Amino acid sequence: MKEVSLKYDDSTLALLHYSQLLNFIGFLGIIIPVILWSTKKKEIQGMDEHGKHVINYQLSMLLYVIIYFILFFLSMILTLVLIGYVFIIILCLIGIPLALLLIVYPIIGGIAASKGTLYKYPLTIKFIS
C-alpha cells in the first residue's frame, strides 16, 4: 500500500513541474502550479519544497520575459532611427534560448520529480524561501 501512495506523490510532483508548460496558454503556467502547491503542500511529502522551486522559477522567468519585451520594444523604437537593428538581432538571439528554457527545464524537473528527486532550476531568483 505504501508503494502506491508514494507513486501517487511522485506523479503529482511531476505534474506540478509539467503544469508549467501551460505558460503557452497564458498565465496558466503560473496559476496551476500555485493552486497545486497551495492545496497539496500539507498532504504530499515534498510538495512544499518542489512548489517553492517551481514558483520561484516561474516568477524569475516572468521577470526575465518582461525585461526582454521592454528591451525589444525599445529596440523597435530605435529602428526608426536606424540604430535598433543590431539590438533586434541580439534580442532575437537571446529570445530563442529564453523560450527554450520555458520548455526544457520544466520537462527536466518533471522527470526528476517522477524519479523522486528534487530538481533545482538554474537562473532562479529566490522570491519564496
Q: What is the pLDDT along the chain (129 residues), one digit of tens a residue?
A: 444 444 457 889 999 999 999 988 888 889 999 999 999 988 888 899 999 999 999 999 999 999 988 988 888 887 777 666 777 788 888 888 888 988 999 999 999 999 989 999 998 999 998
Q: From CA 75, how far away is CA 69, in angstroms rounded?
A: 10
CA 31 to chain centre: 11
CA 76 to chain centre: 27
At 30, the amino acid letter reads: I
Residues in the chain: 129
pLDDT at 84: 65
pLDDT at 38: 93
pLDDT at 71: 86
